[in-house]
Amino acid sequence: MIKRISLTLRIWRQESHCSEGKFEDYFMKDLSTNLSLLEALDKLNHQLIVKGQRPVNFDHDCREGICGSCGFLVNGQAHGPQNATTCCQLYLRKLQDESTLTLEPWRTKTFPIIQDLVVDRSSLDRLIVSGGFCSVDTGKVPDANEFKVSQQQAFSAFQTATCIGCGACIASCRNSSASLFTAAKIAHLGQLPQGQLSRLKRAQAMNKQMFIEGFGSCSNNLDCEASCPKEISANWISWMNNEVRQYKKDFS
């Protein structure tokens, strides 16, 4: 049997980066618990458009927990109350009937608000760009077995490759540190033979860019690990710090 619930959505409404924002309450009744939170927002937007009002702006793409587009605070928690789950995969059956959900955008100066729940995460793109390319070999396509990768190596690299770049780790960190995001991106390629050529330089360049962008330092509070929808371990931050130390030893 499909269950139905009622929710009050308290949503941060802000016209633009320069305007003032405020919370507005929207009462939604008779919602199927098979809806995801984003689908509930779709329903709300439909109602707002019918009434001639501006719909709530929120980011989304895959709605399968893999693209990292969605992401905002639900009752103060990045991606909401369910562990290892993105906003788009949060279903109403996991929520209490007649509860109030406060939805607000990531709150960090490195992600300026664009409108409502949408923030500008281009600082993460610039971080990736600062790492450069991993390979400069422009020869023919290499044989599949040219680089031997053990199963353990592949598994470990894959764990860090699961980072979807949603920004939850940064938004949850009291220092707005991008250490977990950057560590995951460095460790993903740095563990594989193909990444060895530029491994240490990449680690150093991306670390430098973190501070240029205004991200804070890591103080080991581990809120990043707790909020990561892909459960990436904060141990990778130590791994990254070792890489940067190694760079300084080898190149200075």
* Interacting residues with ligand FES (CB under 6 A): 60-63, 65-70, 86, 88, 164
Token code pair at residue 37: 């939170």
Nearer to ligand FES, 5 or 163 (CB): 163
Nearer to ligand FES, 163 or 203 (CB): 163
Q: Residues 213, 130: contact at Cβ < 8 Å?
A: no
86 vs 130, which CB is nearer to ligand FES?
Answer: 86
Check: CB of residue 159 under 8 Å from CB of residue 228: no
Question: Closest approach of Cβ 118 to ligand FES, in Å?
Answer: 12
Indicate the residue among 131 and 167 with the shorter CB distance to ligand FES.
167
Is the four-CA dihedral 123, 127, 130, 136 of positive or negative sign? negative
CA 139-143-144 angle, to 5 degrees, is: 130
Question: What would the two tokens of residue 237 be?
Answer: 């931050």
Nearest CB to ligand FES, comparing residues 131 and 165: 165
Report the nearest approach of ligand FES to the CB of residue 40 (Å).
14
Determine how many CB atoms are found less than 10 A away from the CB of residue 77: 14
| Residues in CB range of 228: below 8 A, 6 or more apart | 84, 163, 168, 169, 180
**Residue 88: CB minimum distance to ligand FES, A:** 3
CB of 162 to ligand FES, least distance (A): 12
Q: How far is the CB of 63 from ligand FES (least distance, A)?
A: 5
Please list the residues that pair with 26 across neighbouring strands.
9
